């Protein structure tokens, strides 16, 4: 039974894995046997994640590049294929919001958020799909947000980009299903990651508690509480699941 969760022999790229959810998912995939290429823009953070995987007996390398840089993204996929022979699993995790209302969002600010949360994910998926299609097997996992489903008052570009990411997930699933690639998304709720766009929310006890009470489980998620979802979607356990958005939000989206 545990064999269907094994990722032995697979190579995974996790973008934005120097901290937070990306780091936790990289560690989880490595624990299940995958060789994990750890990405972020800065070498220091990703080297720490790589070293944590290696210290736990896993297999990992670190590859710094900005996912929004088309030239760097293409070079990174080529490098992974050359170094490891194949790239089987892409986790499009790098992303953030700016907490701005529509009225205070400039065109440039809109473009930045759509650029990192949607455009870069599309480009990496397209680049990674080339080898996956050639080999007839692949897993693409896009990290969306509960904000694709229920909006916050101030995060317009983020809500829109993540909703676009989920639409893209369905479209790519339909296009690449016949090629042996599944494309799914995970939509996390409010997670206790150490230092991200929600740090100011969590610093305010009243707001922190308000978000906790909005969930069925009455708490924020922990950074490692996407581990089961990503391992499921990365391997044979999810072989007949594609175009799906797995909401991991402690029940926020089902509670009035």
Ligand X SMILES: NC(=O)c1ccc[n+]([C@@H]2O[C@H](COP(=O)([O-])OP(=O)(O)OC[C@H]3O[C@@H](n4cnc5c(N)ncnc54)[C@H](OP(=O)(O)O)[C@@H]3O)[C@@H](O)[C@H]2O)c1
- Where in the sequence numbering do the catalytic residues fall? 158
Give the residue, chosen from 7, 11, 18, 30, that forms a contact with ligand X under the rule CB under 6 A: 18
Q: Under the criterion CB under 6 A, does residue 193 sit at the interface with ligand X?
A: yes
Give the residue, chosen from 41, 59, 135, 208, that forms a contact with ligand X under the rule CB under 6 A: 41
Cα–Cα–Cα angle for 150, 108, 20, nearest 5°? 50
Residue 216, CA atoms < 13 Å, CB-side half-sphere: 8
Nearer to ligand X, 33 or 99 (CB): 99
- Cβ atoms within 10 Å of 255's Cβ, excluding its own: 13
Residue 105, CA atoms < 13 Å, CB-side half-sphere: 21
Give the residue, chosen from 7, 13, 14, 15, that forms a contact with ligand X under the rule CB under 6 A: 15
Nearer to ligand X, 6 or 98 (CB): 98
Give the residue, chosen from 11, 21, 127, 246, that forms a contact with ligand X under the rule CB under 6 A: 21
Nearer to ligand X, 8 or 204 (CB): 204
Which are the contacts of 181, defined by CB distance < 8 A and separation ≥ 6? Answer: 129, 132, 133, 137, 138, 139, 140, 172
Q: Under the criterion CB under 6 A, does residue 233 sit at the interface with ligand X?
A: no
Per-residue x/- track, 79-118, ligand X (CB under 6 A): --------------xxxx-------------------x--
Q: Under the criterion CB under 6 A, does residue 166 sit at the interface with ligand X?
A: no
Q: How far apart are CA 200 and CA 214, in angstroms?
A: 18
Residue 89 and residue 26 in contact, taking contact as beta carbons nearer than 8 Å? no
Give the residue, chosen from 10, 66, 118, 181, that forms a contact with ligand X under the rule CB under 6 A: 66
> By CB under 6 A, which span of 2-10, 12-20, 104-112, 237-245 interacts with ligand X?
12-20
Q: How many chain residues touch ligand X (CB under 6 A)?
A: 29
Residues lying near ligand X in the complex (CB under 6 A): 15-22, 39-42, 45, 66-68, 93-96, 116, 143, 145, 188, 190-191, 193, 196, 198
């Amino acid at each position: 039974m545990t064999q269907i969760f094994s990722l032995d022999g697979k190579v995974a790229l996790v973008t934005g894995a120097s901290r937070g959810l990306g780091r936790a998912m990289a560690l989880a995939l490595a624990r299940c046997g995958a060789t994990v290429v750890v990405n972020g823009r800065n070498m220091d953070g990703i080297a720490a994640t790589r070293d944590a995987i290696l210290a736990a007996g896993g297999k990992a390398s670190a590859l710094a590049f900005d996912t929004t840089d088309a030239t760097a993204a293409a070079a990174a996929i080529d490098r992974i294929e050359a170094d490891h022979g194949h790239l089987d699993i892409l986790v499009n995790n790098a992303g953030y919001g700016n907490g701005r209302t529509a009225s205070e969002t400039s065109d440039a600010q809109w473009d930045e958020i759509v650029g990192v949360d949607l455009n870069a994910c599309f480009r990496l998926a397209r680049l990674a799909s080339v080898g996956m299609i050639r080999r007839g097997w692949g897993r693409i996992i896009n990290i969306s947000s509960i904000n694709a489903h229920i909006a916050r008052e101030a995060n317009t570009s983020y809500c829109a980009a993540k909703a676009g990411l989920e639409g893209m997930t369905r479209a790519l699933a339909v296009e690449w299903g016949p090629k042996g690639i599944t494309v799914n998304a995970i939509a996390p709720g409010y997670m206790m990651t150490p230092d991200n766009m929600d740090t100011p929310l969590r610093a305010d006890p009243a707001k922190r508690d308000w978000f906790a009470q909005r969930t069925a489980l009455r708490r924020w998620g922990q950074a490692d509480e996407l581990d089961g979802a990503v391992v499921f979607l990365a391997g044979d356990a999810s072989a007949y699941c594609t175009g799906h958005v797995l909401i991991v939000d402690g029940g926020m989206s089902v509670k009035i």
